[in-house]
Chain A
Amino acid sequence: MLTAVLDTLFLFALIAPIVGILSPRERSHLVSGSVALIGLLAAAVFLTNFLSRVFAKPIEVPLGAGLVNAVLVVDIPGLFIGFLAVSIGILVVLYSLKFMERDSGTPFYFGLLTLMVAGMVGVGFAGDLFTLFVFWELMCISSYVLVGFRTQVKESVEAAVKYIVMSAAGSATALFGMSMLYGLTGTLNLVGLASALASAKGGFWLYAALAMLITGFGVKAAIVPLHTWLPDAYTAAPSPVSTILAGASTELAVFVVVKLLFFVFPALRGSWVMFFATFSVLNMLLGNVVGLLQNDVKRILAYSSIAHIGYIFIGVAAGTQLGLTGALLHIFNHGLLKALAFLCIGAIIYRLGARTLDDIAGIGRKMPVTASLFILAILGLIGMPPLNGFISKLVLFTSSLDAGMLWLGVLLVIFSAVSTGYYLRILKALIAPPSGRVSEAREAPALLLIPMIVLAFLVILFGVWPDPLLSFAKSSSSWLMEVGRYA
């Protein structure tokens, strides 16, 4: 009904908790987790199936019937973000099998995780703003519950409350923006909107609608004045949930902002380019400077996420196809790198129960594999040449030169250098001599290591052989830039 991918995800999101509840309590997390894992793997297979069929022409899947014109459009950009969401979902479920073993209510946890992935894939596939909104809310609501999943932990509940207030206000603002756009054009179909606004001259209402949409989706994308929920939610959520939030959900929000700007509002490019140059600088400045002051590794990584969203906006500010390619590429690469970093700190938390720099000092001697993978992720986030973070930063830098915004490219380099400050603090903590509780720690269990090794493999692979990902991002950006091809 909703394409094979989404059907599978929904089906398994329902089956996973039911099977988990029916099985013996001590094994419920393994049973429901394996069911969710099977569903996600099947979804990945179906996504790969789509890949060959979609290159020539996007597939339109009408939902429901008659006058309500809701539609899913499976296209290259949608698959691009769908692959990110599903692959991170698979690894997070695999990781959670071990990580969440001591928690209660895990059957629901796996169901919600699968639903969240379904929401993300649906947002990527949505062909009109209404469908996009519904899947967006599916992702948001399941992520609210996942952030506050450990209800017995005080900070977890507090972070969830902050997150819900900001994010729900953002969603409502986006809905208000959609209603204004609907009033201006009479349609919510993305292709229809794009052709209706192709020659738009601007005007107060159109700018207001754009501003509300960007504000609404920008809350999840952590555009700087709206970022305050992010460090709290990333820190207080269980590590696998932080991983999927940082690696897929926030990236998806940036993707939605980018898609709206380049696909629906290209006519107003002259005005949003300068705004996004400003946001980019603000994000880089705040993320990197406040990141230096943190002592909690998860908070450092959260602020580094804010900074990286600033790097992505450099591509948006360039406003060219190269810029869009760089932005999409960095969305994907940053998703992989940040997911790897959060999984590594999660493994340390699993063994040690601590996450401040002082408490984990010396863990590298006791958990050598985890620490090496963590160092790999950190080097990738800095942008070291053989890793994938370098490739996308290079494309972003080139795009800023190309668009005549040398100063943005220079700021990218400068802030990357500044960010090295806090990444090196993590590095130093990892390789310091162990003491106290750290000296009793052991290497993380295999089930935690497997997803990390897979991600590390991808990070290196897309660093030394970026061509497939680059051409994928390139064709995504060409689809997003040329609306006429959808007709």
Chain B
Amino acid sequence: MISYSIYLAGAAVLYLTGIYALITKRNLIRLIMGIEMLVNAAHINFIALASYWRPGFVDPLATAIVTVSIGVAGCIGAVFLAFAIYAYKHYGTLDVRRMRELRG
């Protein structure tokens, strides 16, 4: 049996990758990928920890959370992509560095 720490380390790496993507990437589509990575890191954490407390028992709470949260993440992705389309219509690019109407 593989120990929990591998899953947790994997989730942490995924989370950090997502943060890295959000900080360094300039393309809107890559940013939404970064956000999805953050969300999925949390999902992996939940699923890995569901069976941690009682051996042989998997807490259905974690599965329920992840199922609902996947739906929520889908909504965020849909809204974000819709705004990405509008941003492309207005600016002709998906590069966030070009979006500089507001500052101060």
Interface residues of A in 213-240 (CB under 8 A from B): 231-232, 235-236
Which of B15, B61, B75, B87 is A161 in contact with, Cβ under 8 Å?
B87
- Most chain B CB within 10 A, of A67, A155, A157, A231, is at A157
A137 with B75, Cβ < 8 A, contacts A161-B83, A176-B15 known: yes
Identity of the chain A residue whose Cβ is nearest the Cβ of B72 in the assembled complex: A137
Contact between A299 and B69, CB atoms less than 8 A apart: no
Across-interface contacts of B19 in A (CB, < 8 A): 169
Across-interface contacts of A162 in B (CB, < 8 A): 99, 102
Contact between B69 and A133, CB atoms less than 8 A apart: yes
Contact between B68 and A134, CB atoms less than 8 A apart: yes
Interface residues of B in 11-37 (CB under 8 A from A): 11, 15, 18-19, 22, 28, 31, 34-35
Identity of the chain B residue whose Cβ is nearest the Cβ of A66 in the assembled complex: B60
Which of A137, A188, A296 is B76 in contact with, Cβ under 8 Å?
A137
Across-interface contacts of A179 in B (CB, < 8 A): 11, 42, 45-46, 49
> Does B9 have its Cβ within 8 Å of any Cβ on chain A?
no
A183 with B39, Cβ < 8 A, contacts A160-B83, A299-B104 known: no
Q: How far is the CA of A398 from the CA of B34 in the complex (A)?
A: 44
Contact between A182 and B79, CB atoms less than 8 A apart: no
Contact between B45 and A176, CB atoms less than 8 A apart: yes
Number of interface residues of A (CB under 8 A): 47
Which of A157, A235, A236 is B87 in contact with, Cβ under 8 Å?
A157
Contact between A155 and B45, CB atoms less than 8 A apart: no
Contact between A161 and B102, CB atoms less than 8 A apart: no
Q: How far is the CA of A172 from the CA of B22 in the complex (A)?
A: 12
Q: How far is the CA of A296 from the CA of B104 in the complex (A)?
A: 10
Q: How far is the CA of A69 from the CA of B59 in the complex (A)?
A: 10
Contact between B75 and A176, CB atoms less than 8 A apart: no
Number of interface residues of B (CB under 8 A): 43
Which of B45, B65, B102 is A158 in contact with, Cβ under 8 Å?
B102
Which of B28, B68, B76 is A141 in contact with, Cβ under 8 Å?
B76
> Does A154 have its Cβ within 8 Å of any Cβ on chain B?
yes
Q: How far is the CA of A194 from the CA of B52 in the complex (A)?
A: 20
Q: How far is the CA of A155 from the CA of B53 in the complex (A)?
A: 49
Which of A66, A164, A176, A232 is B42 in contact with, Cβ under 8 Å?
A176
Across-interface contacts of A173 in B (CB, < 8 A): 38
Main secondary structure, interface of B, reads helix
Q: How far is the CA of A67 from the CA of B60 in the complex (A)?
A: 7
Contact between A164 and B79, CB atoms less than 8 A apart: yes
Across-interface contacts of A165 in B (CB, < 8 A): 22, 31, 35, 80
Q: How far is the CA of A63 from the CA of B84 in the complex (A)?
A: 36
Contact between B101 and A155, CB atoms less than 8 A apart: yes
Across-interface contacts of A182 in B (CB, < 8 A): 46, 49, 61-62
Identity of the chain A residue whose Cβ is nearest the Cβ of B100 in the assembled complex: A158
A68 with B60, Cβ < 8 A, contacts A157-B90, A164-B79 known: yes
Contact between A141 and B75, CB atoms less than 8 A apart: yes
Contact between A157 and B64, CB atoms less than 8 A apart: no
Residues 289-308 of A, flagged 1 when their CB comes within 8 A of B and 0 if not, give 01001101001000000000
A161 with B99, Cβ < 8 A, contacts A137-B75, A151-B86, A172-B38 known: yes
Interface residues of A in 104-160 (CB under 8 A from B): 130, 133-134, 137, 141, 144-145, 148, 151, 154-155, 157-160
> Does A180 have its Cβ within 8 Å of any Cβ on chain B?
yes
* 8 new A-B contacts at CB < 8 Å, known A66-B60, A68-B61, A231-B104: A133-B72, A141-B76, A145-B79, A154-B91, A158-B90, A165-B35, A173-B38, A183-B52
**What are 28 contact pairs spanning A and B, CB under 8 A?**
A68-B61, A68-B64, A70-B64, A130-B68, A133-B72, A141-B79, A144-B80, A145-B79, A151-B86, A158-B90, A158-B102, A161-B83, A161-B96, A162-B99, A162-B102, A164-B80, A165-B22, A165-B31, A165-B80, A168-B35, A168-B76, A169-B19, A172-B38, A176-B15, A176-B38, A176-B42, A179-B11, A182-B46
Chain A residues with a Cβ under 8 A of chain B? 66-70, 130, 133-134, 137, 141, 144-145, 148, 151, 154-155, 157-162, 164-165, 168-169, 171-173, 175-176, 178-180, 182-183, 186, 188, 231-232, 235-236, 290, 293-294, 296, 299
